[in-house]
A and B are shown apart, each in its own frame.
Chain A
């Protein structure tokens, strides 16, 4: 079945550091890939997505590229801010309106 594996956390960085959170997946067919962010006490917010190979999703300075050859969708940001502190989830879904399969989440803390 489909599965998502994320880089284990927690991850602690200083402000303005470069961020990478690794995500790899196993899936049949051609899934859509997502990154969600969860702030303390809140629900999940869609951060970015990519629906086909080589697509790059981007939002708020975050980027991730759908790499079919390495089955990866790593999240990157060039210069993190304290306000980026949250839990980040990588997820996939099959074609059409299907359920999301989530990774275990990576807790990110940015220190000033």
Chain B
């Protein structure tokens, strides 16, 4: 399962507060991803990283920022959380190599009141 750990797994916060979600991997894969999933919907890419300090936007990046200061950690920050950011957030890594399967973490459920 590529040793992916997300934290926190659950968080309740208030509108306007900053929130940081952490994704940690133990296998030093190059590519890491943050997706959000809303009830009854598919996965939407927020941001992804292709190396330390190398990140790019996904489909729904507004309101989110990311950082990757070391290979194993990819942080997702909501600078000022809004109720529309209530969602389940999944981190994923891409296995290095041509085939490149994605492996997902267990998810972080965020509720913004």
A and B part of one assembly = no
Binding site for B on A (CB under 8 A): none
Binding site for A on B (CB under 8 A): none
